[in-house]
Amino acid sequence: MEDWRKDQEIVVMEGRIKVPYRWAAGEVGTRYLQALRDEMRFLGTRCPGCGIVYHPPRRNCPDCERECGEWVELGERGTLLTYTVVRRHHPQLSPLPLPFGYGIVRLEGADTGFLHLLYEFQEGELRAGLPVEAVFAQEREGSVLDVRYFRPVREVG
């Protein structure tokens, strides 16, 4: 069988295809996002089998598959579990002035962590175990970005 590609010119077209999409947050996600937007409160759900408090909330436990029907109010403060600092600007991917970070935060009252932005920190200040607090956006829309970022807790004394 003859290779038809050997006499063909290879043409490459570079570009980017934008595919905007939307999906429903569902009953659990809607309740969570409304609490963030309207009351600046974090909610989680507790598994009746494992006792794990999930944040963000889940309808069902991924371990024992039981329905997580109990809602739990969580604190605005939490613990930084791990992080990375961004020091290079990218026009489409830099949501805050440099330097900023991404971190996994476990809120008070939750057993799981979630990814969010970090800001208002000093060089070398971030570390695993650092207490952090949420900074909410002035105008909220019902999105995880209603929390602008987390910053280190600074006790006033």
Structure confidence by residue, pLDDT tens digits, 121-136: 999 999 999 999 999 9
Higher-scoring residue by pLDDT: 103, 14: 103
Determine the pLDDT at residue 155. Answer: 79
Cis ω before 99 (30° cut-off from 0)? yes
Determine the pLDDT at residue 42. Answer: 98
Structural domain includes residue 8 = no
Determine the pLDDT at residue 18. Answer: 82
Tokens of 25: 């947050």
**What domain range is 81 assigned to?**
24-152
CA distances from 14 to 8, 11, 44 (A): 19, 10, 44
Structural domain includes residue 13 = no
Q: Cα separation of 94 and 101, whole Å?
A: 10
Structural domain includes residue 48 = yes
Number of domains the chain contains:
1
Can you name the residues that pair with 132 across neighbouring β-strands? 78, 152
DSSP symbol at 63: T
Structural domain includes residue 85 = yes
Is pLDDT at 2 greater than 70 in this prediction? Answer: no
Structural domain includes residue 72 = yes
Q: Is 44 exposed, middle or buried (0-12, 13-18, 19+ CB in 10 A)?
A: buried
Is pLDDT at 140 greater than 60 in this prediction? Answer: yes
Mean pLDDT throughout 40-44? 98
Structural domain includes residue 118 = yes
Structural domain includes residue 3 = no
Structural domain includes residue 83 = yes
pLDDT digits (tens, 9 = 90+) for 82-139: 999 999 988 777 899 999 999 999 999 999 999 999 999 999 999 999 999 999 999 9
Mean pLDDT throughout 71-79? 98
**Average pLDDT of the chain?**
92
The whole-model pTM stands at: 0.84
